[in-house]
Amino acid sequence: MRASGGLALPLTVLGGFLGAGKTTLVNALLRRAAGLRLAVLVNDFGSVNLDAALIASASGDTIALTNGCVCCAVGDDLAAGLAAVLSRRPAPDHVLVEASGVADPGAIAAIARLDPDLRLAGVLVLADAASVAERLADPRLADTLRRQLRAADLLVLTKTDLVAAEEAGRVAALLRPLAPGAALLPASHGALPVEVALGRHAGGGGAAPPPRAAHGTLFASVTLRPARPVAEAALRGALDALPEGVLRVKGVLPLAAGGCVLVQRVGRRLEMTPGGPAAEAALVLIGTEAVWDAAEALRPLGLARA
């Protein structure tokens, strides 16, 4: 039943309450995803605001962009929208689902966990630093928000430029226990690199992306290569202990016990599955400046910068 010819299509869920900045981020990612055939599924086009110059064609519920991306309005029927995306040719490289403001992104992520044609590449939840505390105090909204936060792998605090630094700190402290599986980072005005948001960089190829400054947060990535096979338990322990600023980890490493392991960590959610080509053994860390310290912390495992 694998429709996409063998490779599972990576899927990122973008959640967050009304006004958290999801649309700004979607628009920014669509503009920046040159070289990556990104398919974005939105409820409707109401808030998608693309430069006319970027639109190659528009028909009914699909807008095709000149950079190879598409944006599809799926209304209430996400299932039908995903089926349509899976049958698109050429197949997209990545699919981003923008959840509605009241949806549980975890429920959408579950689809990617279930469907062998899809692979979950992370759940991004945005929270508006200026209003999230007030909303969490509103009994009409609190449970919906808490459900969203709980599902997050990456919790992006937006509109931090609208509040004082200490207020942003207070909000972060309020949110952290509500998003136990997430790494928290500030990023306003959609200034989140493609490689952080989607776990891959535009342009294809395997080279690590250059560090990128974005509104106060310095994003960086580092590629590590193994000098020798690693012990699985030690690797898991080391990855679990990485600092919050390491937003994503991915790669293939040879195991001391034989064979290889595929590593994918988004926020604090770590997946280690057997397999992967030994010839491409490497581990990529993506995040803030914290990746440099993290690289040092992994050195005892025999992992060194390439």
Query: What's the closest the beta carbon of residue 72 comes to another protein, in angstroms?
Result: 13
Which of 109/281 has CB closer to another protein?
109
Query: What's the closest the beta carbon of residue 52 comes to another protein, in angstroms?
Result: 18
Asked whether 26 and 14 are in contact (CB, 8 A), the reply is yes
Which of 1/52 has CB closer to another protein?
1
Query: What's the closest the beta carbon of residue 90 comes to another protein, in angstroms?
Result: 22
Q: How far is CA 238 from CA 64, 232, 267, in A?
A: 43, 10, 14
DSSP state letter for 53: G
Cis (ω within 30 of 0) for the bond into 177? no
Q: Which are the contacts of 161, defined by CB distance < 8 A and separation ≥ 6? A: 188, 189, 215
Comparing CA positions, the residue from 179, 27, 30 lying closest to residue 105 is 179
Q: How far is CA 274 from CA 2, 240, 261, 262, in A?
A: 20, 18, 4, 6
Q: Which are the contacts of 305, defined by CB distance < 8 A and separation ≥ 6? A: 222, 223, 224, 225, 295
Query: What's the closest the beta carbon of residue 170 comes to another protein, in angstroms?
Result: 23
Query: What's the closest the beta carbon of residue 150 comes to another protein, in angstroms?
Result: 12
Comparing CA positions, the residue from 27, 2, 1 lying closest to residue 14 is 27
Question: Where do contacts with another protein occur on this chain (CB under 8 A)?
Answer: 1, 17-19, 43-47, 73, 75-76, 78-80, 82-83, 100-102, 107-108, 110-111, 113-116, 140-141, 143-144
Which of 13/303 has CB closer to another protein?
13
Which of 20/185 has CB closer to another protein?
20
Dist CA 41 CA 54 (whole Å): 17
Comparing CA positions, the residue from 173, 17, 14 lying closest to residue 99 is 14
Which of 6/205 has CB closer to another protein?
6
Which of 86/175 has CB closer to another protein?
86
Query: What's the closest the beta carbon of residue 120 comes to another protein, in angstroms?
Result: 11
